[in-house]
Chain A
Amino acid sequence: MTEVIFYVFAAILLFAGLRVVTAKNPVHAALYLVLSFFNGAALWMLMQAEFLAVSLIVVYVGAVMVLFLFVVMMLDINFEELRKGFWKYVPVAGTVAVVMAVEMALILSHRAAQIEGAGLVDHPAGYNNAKVLGQLIYTEYFLPFQLAAVLLLVGMIAAIALTLRKRKNTKYINPANQIQVKRNDRVKIVSMPAEERPSVEAPKADDGQA
């Protein structure tokens, strides 16, 4: 039964992956990528790696791909232009792909590359992937976990340092000054002697002045 499910998901994954590269519309391509991530997550679920599956959906489908869709929709990129040389490169790309596929098959089937303990592990009922991972991260892998947090901090500092620009001509509003403003700051009453009302018609650009 598991095998049948695996082949169904794997087939959809391959189809979606193929459509990512062949779809004409970039929005469709991005949506197919979402589909392929989803199927990848399902495969992980079959391998009882539910934490990875959930995080793939949360992080990639939920955050990265949504942002990516925004970017694709906002930027005015002429995708036809980018695709122009596609058929010209197909022979070379096809050769490279075939060579890579053969190499991978050779490596995977070679005796020297068989790694001990690389097969799937059968977990007992009640085994909780996320819990085990959490325990490892917060105990054994405490140091790399903390350092990865520093890495994110560096990313944040760098992003702010490289993109935040103070514009000198921007008119900032200072709320404190806004609240403190008095009536006298807004309206100035000037006493003037009364004048007779000049009898002019509504000014028409040229006539009056000439």
Chain B
Amino acid sequence: MSDATQILPDMTPATAMIRTLGLIAAICGLIIVAAYQGTYSAVQENKRIAVERAVFKVVPAAKSIVEYFALADGELRKVGAGEMVPVGAVKFYAGYDEAGKLAGIAAEGAAKGYSDFVRILFSWDPVKNQVTGFSVVASRETPGIGDKITVDKDFLANFPLEAKPDGKALAHEIRTVKHGSKTNPWEIDAIAGATITSRAVGKAINDTAQMLLPRLAPHLEELKEKP
């Protein structure tokens, strides 16, 4: 046996190392799978409640929701359990009142704010063609400055906001304008000192609305009653 291949007496054999690592991987695998399966139903229920609460907040008349995809080819399809958003599709929530009539549409939008992406959920009234309000899903905006978007009375007075689908886009682009210069019903008057976050709200609504609302317009009849 040459020097190069000689195994030192205190060296752990490779089989022992592989055996240990294999055993530990098996134990850890069991623990992880048990934890995943044990918490799965509670996690799914929590997610469902979180979505419902968020939609009920922006569509107060709603008592139940149905999740849909507005597909890239213009068709609508109900969301299956745990289904991912298909390429080019927009997910939205149709809120229905106690009688099963459509109370409003809610959809998520996101745009870059001051610290990170501001994710919001906004509601759209298909009868009046208006965005009626919004709530924040996730935001890391500066406390006391950017987070005023949910409490500032003047900012909230921007809603309802005109959002009328026309052909393949909106009749007027929703945009945030400098504080005090709002002249049209589709413009958002920014909060003085929190312009970047205000702009993020406008862009988040506009980006989603430009894609979603024109696709919804031809299907409003079928959405009117709860399926």
A binds B: no
Contact surface of B with A, Cβ cutoff 8 Å: none
Residues on A lying within 8 angstroms of B by beta carbon are none
